[in-house]
Structure 1
Amino acid sequence: MKRTAILILLFIGYLQTGAQQNLVPNPSFEDTVFCPIGLSLLTGCVSWRQYTDATSDYLHSCSYYAAGVPNNWIGYQYAASGNAYCGVIANVNTWAEYIAAELSQKMIVNRKYKVEMSVNLGNQSGYATNNLGVYFYDSNASYVFTSNILPYIPQISYAKYGVINDTLNWVRLVDTLVADSAYDNIVIGPFNVDGNSFTTDTLGGGSWAYYYIDSVVVSLIDTFVVAVQDSILCAGDTLSVDFVAEKPLGVSNIFRLQLSDKYGGFNSPINIDSLASDSCNGMLSGVIPLSISPGSGYRIRVTSTVLPDTSLDNGFDISIGNLDSANIIVTSTSSPLCEYDTLHLSASSSVTAILYNWMGPNGFNANVGDTTILNVDIAYTGTYYSTVNVYGCTVRDTFDVVVKQSPDSPNVTNNTPLCEGDTLRLYTATGTNGVTFSWAGPGGFSSSSDTIILLNTVDTISGIYTATVSKNGCSTSDTTNVIVKTRPFVTLSNNNPLCTGDTLKLNSTAFSTGVTYSWSGPMSFSSNTQNATRVNATPNMSGWYKMLVNLNGCEYTDSTQAFIYTIPIISSIGGNNPICIGDTLKLTTGNYSGATYSWTGPNNFSSSQRNPTRANISLADAGAYRLTIAANGCVSPQDSVNVSVNPQPFVVILANKDSICAGGSVTFTALPNNVGGTPTYQWFVNAQYVAGGSTVFTTSTLNHNDVIRCDMTEYTKCANNFTDPSNDVQIAVLPWLAPSVSITSNPSGPVKEGIYIDFTATTVNAGKKPQYQWKRNGTDVIGAQSNIWSANNLNDNDSISVEIVSNYLCPLPTTAVSNGIKVHILTSVGDIEGAESLVLYPNPNNGKFILSGKLPNGRYDVLISNSIGQKVFSGVTEVQGNVLQTEMQLNVAVCMYILQLRDEAGHRAIIRFEVK
């Protein structure tokens, strides 16, 4: 007869934190599409599917058949969580079963995830294996047409747990990975451990190794999280943030509250509070800096110094305003105003994310920064209120406005139209007494009389005249249009100077309709049009041309003088052609008395000299150089000379190597350009002549950083022999060096199981990027190929070393092996008789677990302490019938804990477990 002792513990004062989101849908297989009435019905489980032709099973307590829970076709087992689980056959290469599901969201590349599940071997299994694993993918097919074991290498292999043969208790398998892709699908089942095979133990009885699978979890590992309530703040406000850590971090830990830039980046975070604490949770409060730039994309995070570690940010944008940097300006039209004026209200800021509001008399309300009220009256007298919001900051201002009554508008008249020289009279009248008058008109006219008289008018006084009447600072106006007709007037001109053969154009300014024109000039010329012409002009047509105009009986006379000249001729043109780059071009032409010269040419060349020169000629200066000459405004036909420019010869040298080992040979080759004939060559080392005559120079006597140059002399392209020194080539001559490597570990002393040890390799004379291969007990660690390697799964007395391959150019030898470091791993030991049968499950757990095993009958003390030695529980349990079965529930923080069981004789057993 078994007797079970149930002990439920509540421990007040410890904070349990929420775990990271499980990416696995329906992780305990509770949700069903339909109840399975037989085997091979995984389609009845929500979100899960078969991955291959081998038929995995869905087992649920709703079924009373072979697919039931706890009783089913191969054993008897309650679910690890809820009332369902799945089953797969794992030991046959030609029949391997898998279950698959799509993750609720993609994994984040380079982030660390914990992958865990509970497994149990079916009671009637005849075999047990070590080949369970998890394969993630993001682009493979969702179904593979095979019943064989898959050839994939899983990202998670639970082979480290050895052959799993426990048919009584669920075994919690836990491992981690750093996502190297945005995986979105999970496949669970058997995989070859080393890519080719796996270990199988024969138990006797059945034909398979059949495993139940339950409580699958894939979660992002984050040491601690933060909680922020505010989303709109102002500079100078206090921001409070709650944080919850996974476990106490030690007395030397300092939490820091950090604010991002306004785009959410933490490249240069602002520390606004800090707290020295080893607590698992707490609050940080910081003041938003007064110098902060306004923005709507701020984020908050918390860092710790002990790990060190950084939380995820708060997950949403925070808008922060700053009145000092917002540059807010609020103005209004100066008061008092008069009736019919425009009231202008303005509020502005250099920040775009801003809200405005104006309120005032007569029901005025506007939600813009800049607004106007047209034609105001006395009802708009009163106080106007301005409100400006910049994110969490508010600025308010007020303006008092007074609107006064204006006088009646005046009635304005005049005696126009008039002709130039007549007298203009302006009249005004108004129905308001006690007003003052003012006039404004064309040409700056002004007056303060009610009636205006102007003598000897001219057409320029025509236009709009405005009369304004004023009283008590307010004014009204009216206008009248004055018309004074213009007497005829023209201005004559012509297109001289002209040249023989040109067309003489006689022009007069346009006046108006009704005007008559009459031209007269040399050689009996006459015309009755406004503008006249004389084609094929000759020098004897030069002289005065007169015009008589008439409008409304008024006449006006004017004259213009015309000049016609002979066209000059270019007598000769030439230049010193051809030339080389860098030479001076000399252009020549014959003399023409009284002429000006205009040269143009390639590359924006121009000159007004008769015989110009162009120094330091270039290839862009080659081409046609054109010349025109001008005398008395007459320009000759264009003439030109073509100039050819040869590029300067030059030489470039190349080396077949830029670095050699001591005693090595290097060859230099000269590449001539823009040459003709046979150039000559001279070779120099460090500016000292060493060889000549050839385009190739080979040497094995160079020293480190020697500089090689070649001078080439060309004899055909330029007026004189041209020597060009080549580019310099510097050669690195490296010594032969033997590489070496040494390693260190951190921590360097004994460590507890599961603690990461960081091993760092330091090389000497191995080049900038040597190759690394870390070794564990002389065997290569797959994938450990950088200068730093970390592990938390080492065994006591494991020996760690590293072998390097130098990438230095001149290594001797090419490889080196480091010193070895032997690690010491501390393990738990129990000395109670039968302690080896003790099991605590599930582990990890949420504070609720079962402690079971086979122990001698008697009374046992139970003591539980956290990772820093603080006692969180003590109690007593009784064992009768040699069976311990105790259920416990702790209300404790997420942390590592140690359970110590001690009998009456002082013997003890120790079990570690983790609360998540």
Structure 2
Amino acid sequence: MNLKLCFASLLLVPSLSFAQPCNLQPNATYGPGKICNNQDVYLYGTSAVSGVTYSWTGSAGFSSSLQNPVISGLKAWHMPFTYVLSVAKAGCNTEYDTVIVNNIISVPHTPKIETDSVVCTGDTLRLWLETVSLVVTKGYIYGPNLPVSFSAVTTRDYVYIPNVSLADTGWYYAYATNNDTFKCYTDTSKLYIGTNIIVPRPATPPITTITATPGTTVGPWVTVTFKANTLAAGTKPKYQWRKNGVNIPGATDSIYTATTNVDIMNGDTLTVLVERGPVCIEDSISGPVTINVNLSIGENSKSKYGVYPNPSNGRFTIRYDAAKNEHPKIEVLNSVGQKISIQYLHNANSSQIILPTNIQNGIYYLRIQSANNTETMPLLINK
């Protein structure tokens, strides 16, 4: 056989390629050394040979073609996490290394700042932390004029701010850590404390006075309107009227209406308690007003009406100055307010009134009601 021809034939046969062990020495590591929940985890891949390509696969379907990828959102309760590094090079067998992440530290839940509902300026504001975490934690609060202060999340240690003022309003912040030597920190929560919580205290206490219409010296069975006049009582004051120091049931408005010889008697004393509203205003009680029910038999010189004779035997005349076509209503009442007689005046200037013949001697009261006026005067019967 021609050796030259044989050698030439061999040169024409396509060459065959086979991957060879290249000792790529892949090395998979991660960092940092200790990791908190949701903290970024860094995977690091290296090789003893240059010109290689890297790829990663791992837990929860993770994959990456980066040499040093970053993983986010790992949770301690899902450990361990396994990641496989693949290192490849043309003409070489692919080689692998594995790393296991199993040192993720649980982070407590973000604490919530709690406080008293309302405090007044000059009082002490109390803050504390609440959380649903079962992890033993340490909590911290800070804010305007408040350096970082410890408040245990699990046992409710209070943080006190004495003698608060409006300078203490603003944002307050809180965070917590675990009790491990390697600290993991929660997110920061915040609470705005404004004048809805720290309420200014007025410089002067409220002052309450009472006005009475038509006055405090009136006749029997006269309707008297009492009004509480209060300065610096806040936006929502509450009222309680008192008669002789005792609360009057249902009299809880700024205006109280009473009728002499029915609701109030001669010598009764009225006061009104004004409760602060809404907060940080001292309660105020008015000075007393005393009712004087005029029992005099004499006529009122300012009255539109006159009675004669008075005393009478039950037959008397009423003179009056009424408007045209006005017919005042006449009521005669006994000492306990019972109506003895009801009549209407019809004549222009005077009318005679005749009471029942069985009426007893004593003091009675004549109440005259017109469209715009009511007057009461005493009437003496002496047969």
TM-score normalised according to structure 2 size: 0.44
Which one has a bigger Cα radius of gyration? 1
Q: Which has the higher contact order (CA 8 A, sep 6+)?
A: 2
| TM-score normalised by L of structure 1 | 0.22
